[in-house]
A and B are shown apart, each in its own frame.
Chain A
Amino acid sequence: MKISIANTRKLYGIAGALLTLAIPYLIMLNTVTEHLEHSQSLCPIKMLTGFPCPGCGITKSIIFLYEGNVVKSISYHIFGPLVVAFCLAIIATLTTSLFTENFYFKSILYNKKLAYFLAIFLAVYHLFRLYYFISENNLDSILRESIWK
């Protein structure tokens, strides 16, 4: 059976959303939470510069959300719960679309205004995070977050 390009695209979309949800779950099952809070980040930007990228902390945020600690989840990254909701919506929409050929919520998923709102919100949030990160860490501890020290 040959799968069409459109359906392949949907399947990869579902796989990406599932991976986003599954990776934190697998980490949660195999890691002690205390270790997680102090472990080296695998983010290329953090490894290179020591500073967090806009996505840094989302995996930890999702892990704490899975553990039921919503406050800690939001403290790691405000987008954590939003990413979980977005991935669940993507899985539901694309799976339905695979079987019915109808693409639901297209006006939301392809909404340019929503995208720019999210981008500006994320940018402002990231700038605040960077400000607090710099004010709470000295050069030595920032370098320790990278691979250089």
Chain B
Amino acid sequence: MEQQPIPRFKNDPVVVLILGIITCGLYLIYWNIKTAEVINAVSGKEVISEPIAIFAGCCMPVNLYFYYLAGKEGLPRIYERTGQYNKDQTTLLVVMGFLFPVVSAMILQGDINKLYED
């Protein structure tokens, strides 16, 4: 897969929390799709398929799989691109994804935002 431009998806993590709660989780499905797009573009390959991103918004085990993929394959590529220390966040994302999915989304959003810092 050729290198594609990274779609802009910059949000304050607190906005993700508020919109996630106000829309009763509906925003998190949109957030899953956009995050999958960003991670796929940064990785240069299809790490997370969009249909999986949708079902992740409905089913807990699929959601955990989504955060596993994001932590294991997506975040290292983001850290690489932003020049950050490459730490493995997979366990944190999966555990928080089980207890409070919106918190995992906030953590991921915080790292994605660093892609757009000048």
Chain A residues proximal to chain B, CB less than 8 Å: 5, 9, 12-13, 15-17, 19-20, 23, 44-45, 48-49, 51-55, 58, 79, 83, 86, 108-112, 114-116, 118-119, 122-123, 126-127, 130
Contacts and interface: CB of A to CB of B under 8 A. Distances in A.
B100 interface: yes
Interface of B: 20-21, 24-26, 29-30, 33, 46, 49-55, 57-62, 64-65, 68-69, 72-73, 99-102
Interface of chain A, main secondary structure: helix
Contacts, number: 93
A20 B62 contact: yes
30 contacts: A5-B73, A9-B69, A15-B61, A17-B61, A17-B62, A20-B59, A20-B61, A23-B61, A44-B99, A44-B101, A45-B20, A45-B24, A48-B21, A49-B21, A51-B24, A53-B24, A54-B25, A58-B58, A86-B51, A109-B51, A110-B46, A110-B50, A110-B51, A111-B50, A114-B50, A115-B51, A116-B33, A118-B51, A122-B29, A126-B26
